[in-house]
Amino acid sequence: MAAYVHMSFLSNYTVLPKFKGVDDVLALDISSDLPLFGTGFHSFRVINTYSTNTVDHRVHSVQPEVLFPDLGFPLLVVGDLNIHNPLSDPLRHFSTKEISSSTPYFEKAAESGFALLNPPGEYTRFPLVGTARPSVIDLAFANPPLLPLVKSWEASLPSTRSDHVPITITLATPSLKQQPPRPRWADTDWETLGPMIKGLKVPAAPSCPTPPKLDEWMSQSLNRLVALLKENMPVSRPCHHSKPWWTRHLTILHREYHKAAR
Amino acid sequence: MSSFLLTATPQSLWTAKRFPYGRAQPPFPSLPGAETPQQMNEVLLDHFFPPKEPFSPPPRLRPHKSVPPLATDEIAAALSKCSPTSAPGPDGIPYSTWKQVNKINLSIFLQILAPLVLLGYHPASLKSSNSVVLDKPGKTSYKSPSSFRIIVLIQTFSKILERIIAARLLVAARLKGLLHPNQCGSLPGLSTYDGCLTLTKDVKTLQRPRPKVSSLFLEIKAGFDNVDNNTLARILREGGIPPYLVSWVSSFLGEGSCTPVFQGAPGTPASVNVGAPQGSPISPLLFLLYVAPLHFRVPRGLMISYVDDFALTVASLSYRGNILRLQELLEKLERKASRLGICFSVAKTELIHWRTPSQRHSPKCVSPIQIKGDLVHSSNSVRWLGYWFTPALDPAAHFSRRLSLAQGAFALIQRLSPPGAGLPPYLCHRLATSLVAPILLYGADLFTPSVGTTTRLDTFWRKVQRWTTNCFSATPSGILSVESWLPPVSLLITNRQRLTALRVVCSPPSVNPATARLHPSFPSLSVHRAPDFSRAITRGLSSVDLPLHWKTACPVPPLRNHIPVDAVAHRTIRFTSALSKMPMINSHLVCPTPTLPPQSLMHNTYTALKKRVRETLLTEWATRFQTPGYYLHSPAVSPRPFTGLGTFIAGRIH
């Protein structure tokens, strides 16, 4: 197992190989004094693996626990895992053996919050002999801190004459534009608003107008109604600390995490 | 996570689905030559909204004559079809707010919308939209704008008016015959099944006198984006559509303001001509009217379409002859398409040579079809409208793919409820019926699986049942299906086929191409039928090849078979024997005739027939899949009230 790093990269970042005490696994720790990807993280890890079938063909040489650790900083797991699962290749029919040997990996990945980056069904291995089918076995997983930074997964590079296709994974700083305050339509107080809507008068439409005149009348009539609605609508007021990428899903996970910690 | 799952409600169930799915970021557009978000904005706008001939509105708008006045019922009907979860446009106002406003004051919508209908005008202020850039899944590279699609989020207020006009335009187009009878999809009362049933019926009928049959499948490239305003206005005007509707459509398709939305987008609106915006309720209808002139009659063949998917079928004495005919028809079709400013996608063109069992060993035809300089060879399997077709119309090819897809979906949701924990059974049942069953059984209305395939489907379905109930694997399968409120897969397939058959035979023949192919002796309320050329070719054949009459049950052993539409008609005999004529649903889409019974009466009859089919499902479940004597519960398709309690999980009791 080997890893190649561009020289220009080494001038800006510290790259340390880390062997996890297991054959067929290589981890690279990338760190810098400056925050990486515009986030608060100073470290980033890539785990590369080549998991082969053992002699009895029931277990693989690399166990899921080694590949999907719970880390507090970005982690990318890539490699030839030699596993077949409907999650990575939905249109293929799998044997029970294939599913049972691959499920522990996907179970562990889901438990630790990892997401599969491969587009489902996109082959990464084309056997050089015609006896086997193309398959999706070169998998990439990102942990929750890394997920917002993943920009793309592509297999568009020319062939290297290997039976595996070269894959490019691009990471980039996410857009952190603050969202404007949003009206909470579901919390509208219709009892207060009802009499105002009942009393709303729409100006009479011009009889033979020019298109700009009718546009103006339409904007005026609709804006009057929309302004009335928006004035009486409660608005969500996100504070300047709130993160635009935060979701309800993360709130639940956060709550569960603290519950477990207690 | 488990505590959240235990308290999950039907509303929060889809949040739970995200736990196993994770939250992968969508691919980000990285386009060559576009370094900044502003440049990317321009590249996307240029690609998706190429400049078109501008439409100039009349200098002064005048009220059109004989325009039916807008009624509050029309507004209420349009609003009732709007989903409260539909994504709003730039103003952010959801449909639920408009529904409430209309409930409080009925006259507001009427006062604002009635002048627009009368003048046939769609104001510019309603044409501002957000265009969400979405990635097309499964692309090898996301460096080209063609790897993305644009969904235009129009203001919800504008969509209410669009729905009103769409309803009026559809009735007018049907009455004037502007929609071709072989156009399916995006129209009320029609589905992919109708298109595929029509195709298989004609293929099977054409094969009866033993000629060779071939089909070419085509898809229009970026169809909605290329709808030309002036051409569509001409088609509508020449077709006799009322002038106020033509004027409104021209105004609607005119220039509007659009803001592309993608990660890091600058959010600057641009003035564009978006064609028929994808996301508008009227766009599918406008597109169908635009492509209707592409249809033409194919002697000894069929041309059928589903929105932008076209299928050309021909029959001759040799596959080579079919290739020559298809090439000729394709050139004719391309000429017609170029006049409309549209073209067919080469990458999505597929060819198939159909084979009967007796033609199985006949030599293969390697001649390709040429389309825009590229060669298209025949395939061993073709996916059209989600149905997998093989030359022998083998159901196993379709079901093995559906099974793989269902296994993938089940593998995802399975983690939500491990044995003895996770979701309550009634929510598992909800996931199984709303997520797994539709994936597994899609296409089961057209294809009947063989015994071997049914066994494979059944094995998988029992896993789903076991997961729903948390029962042990030693639980007898009869009890398992009753405990999980999930009927055995063979019954689900039969039930689906019966319900679909009922819908087809009760559709108006002038609207549904499959209904139009029913035998003339079928007791429909309408005598309209498609040109019967295909059955005429079976006249004079030997008794083995002659199609069975639709009323005749299949003989055992099956020396002769029904053609697919007759098999569909035969399925309904058991439920409709007491009726002298079939009711007609969607009868408002056909020309009003005094002989038709009231619409409400026909609707009630149809509902009663569907109820009878569901009752038969339960009866057959109880008789064919008997449970041991010690098990006293009777089969039911909806969970019993006590199973809603979070504390009751069968697995825990076992």
Q: Find all residues with CB under 8 Å of A161, minimum gap 6, and list them.
A: none
Nearest residue in chain B measured CA to CA from A168: B141
Do B411 and A85 make contact, defined as CB atoms within 8 angstroms? yes
Do A185 and B116 make contact, defined as CB atoms within 8 angstroms? no
Q: Is B119 on the interface with A (CB under 8 A)?
A: yes
Question: How many beta carbons lie within 10 A of that of residue B320, not counting itself?
Answer: 14
Calpha distance A168→A160 (Å, rounded): 13
Do A147 and B401 make contact, defined as CB atoms within 8 angstroms? no
Q: Find all residues with CB under 8 Å of B375, minimum gap 6, and list them.
A: B368, B369
Q: Is B65 on the interface with A (CB under 8 A)?
A: no
User: Cα angle at B122 between B117 and B127, to 5 degrees?
Assistant: 150
Question: Among B24, B264, B404, whose Cβ lies nearest the Cβ of A147?
Answer: B24
Mean per-residue pLDDT, A70-93: 86
Q: Examine the pLDDT at A233 and tell me if it is beyond 50.
A: yes
Q: Is A40 on the interface with B (CB under 8 A)?
A: no
Per run of 10 residues, the mean pLDDT along chain B (length 654 residues) is 58 61 59 78 83 77 90 94 85 91 92 93 90 79 80 91 95 92 89 95 88 94 87 94 95 87 79 82 95 93 94 93 95 94 92 89 86 91 94 94 88 74 78 89 95 94 90 87 93 96 93 92 88 72 80 79 90 89 85 81 94 95 91 84 51 44
Calpha distance A180→B399 (Å, rounded): 48
**Three-state SS letters, chain A:** CCCCCCHHHHHHCEEEEEECCCCCEEEEEEECCCCHHHCCCCEEEEEEEECCECCCCCCECCCHHHHCCCCCCCEEEEEECCCCCCCCCCCCCCCHHHHHHHHHHHHHHHHCCCEECCCCCCCCECCCCCCCCCECCEEEEECCCCHHHEEEEECCCCCCCCCECCCEEEECCCCCCCCCCCECHHHCCHHHHHHHHHCCCCCCCCCCCCHHHHHHHHHHHHHHHHHHHHHCCCECCCCCCCCCCCCHHHHHHHHHHHHHHC
Amino acid at B378: S
pLDDT at B641 (0 to 100) = 64
Q: Is B18 on the interface with A (CB under 8 A)?
A: yes
Calpha distance A34→A42 (Å, rounded): 6
ipTM: 0.80
Distance from CA of B284 to the nearest CA of A (A): 26
Dig out the tokens for B568 from the structure. 């569909």
Q: Examine the pLDDT at A238 and tell me if it is beyond 80.
A: no
Rg from Cα positions in chain A: 27
Dig out the tokens for B580 from the structure. 């002298």
pLDDT at A174 (0 to 100) = 67
Q: Is B464 on the interface with A (CB under 8 A)?
A: no
Strands of the B256-261 sheet, one edge to the other: B148-154, B128-135, B256-261, B270-272
Print burial letters for B228-250: b (CB count within 10 Å at least 16), e (below 16): bbebbbebbeebebbebbbbbbb
Question: How many beta carbons lie within 10 A of that of residue B163, not counting itself?
Answer: 21
Asked if residue A256 lies in contact with residue B1, where contact means CB atoms within 8 angstroms, the answer is: yes
Q: Which run of H or of E encompasses B179? A: none
Question: Among B142, B157, B408, whose Cβ lies nearest the Cβ of A222?
Answer: B157
Which chain A residues touch B386 with a CB distance below 8 Å?
A: none
pTM for the whole structure: 0.80
Name the nearest CA neighbour of B232 among B255, B250, B206: B250
Name the nearest CA neighbour of A77 among A109, A54, A104: A109
Calpha distance B646→B653 (Å, rounded): 13
Calpha distance B438→B618 (Å, rounded): 20
Nearest residue in chain A measured CA to CA from B138: A119
Do B407 and A115 make contact, defined as CB atoms within 8 angstroms? no
Interface with A, mutate which of B2, B25, B36, B60 (most A CBs under 10 A): B25
pLDDT digits (tens, 9 = 90+) for A19-34: 767 778 888 888 888 8
pLDDT at B646 (0 to 100) = 44
pLDDT at B402 (0 to 100) = 93
Calpha distance B647→B64 (Å, rounded): 65
Q: Coil, strand or helix: which one is B598?
A: coil
Question: Among B59, B124, B140, whose Cβ lies nearest the Cβ of A154?
Answer: B140
Calpha distance B382→A84 (Å, rounded): 25
Length of chain B counted residue by residue: 654
Name the nearest CA neighbour of B112 among A34, A201, A145, A242: A201
Q: Examine the pLDDT at A240 and tell me if it is beyond 80.
A: no
Find how far residue B272's CA is from the centre of its chain: 30
Instruction: Give helix B489-505 / helix B192-207 axis angle, nearest 10°.
Output: 90
Do B3 and A174 make contact, defined as CB atoms within 8 angstroms? no
Do B96 and A229 make contact, defined as CB atoms within 8 angstroms? no
Calpha distance B480→B508 (Å, rounded): 41
Which chain A residues touch B3 with a CB distance below 8 Å?
A: 256, 259
Q: Coil, strand or helix: which one is B469?
A: helix
> Max Cα separation, chain B?
82
Residue A155 or residue B465, greater confidence: B465
Binding-face residues of B in 395-424 toward A, CB within 8 A = 400-401, 403-405, 407-408, 411-412, 415
Interface with A, mutate which of B112, B136, B156, B400 (most A CBs under 10 A): B112
Do B407 and A86 make contact, defined as CB atoms within 8 angstroms? yes
Alpha-carbon distance values, B251 to A111, A227, B228 (Å) = 54, 26, 12
Q: Is B51 on the interface with A (CB under 8 A)?
A: no
Nearest residue in chain A measured CA to CA from B108: A202
Do B23 and A247 make contact, defined as CB atoms within 8 angstroms? yes
Do A202 and B112 make contact, defined as CB atoms within 8 angstroms? yes
Name the nearest CA neighbour of A140 among B131, B22, B181: B22
Calpha distance A131→A154 (Å, rounded): 26
Q: Is A200 on the interface with B (CB under 8 A)?
A: yes
Q: Is B14 on the interface with A (CB under 8 A)?
A: no
Instruction: Give helix B451-469 / helix B489-505 axis angle, nearest 10°.
Output: 110
Dig out the tokens for A223 from the structure. 């804006």
**H helices of B208-349, where?**
229-238, 243-253, 283-291, 319-339
Asked if residue B45 lies in contact with residue B260, where contact means CB atoms within 8 angstroms, the answer is: yes
Mean per-residue pLDDT, A233-248: 72
Mean per-residue pLDDT, A220-242: 83
Q: Examine the pLDDT at A2 and tell me if it is beyond 60.
A: yes
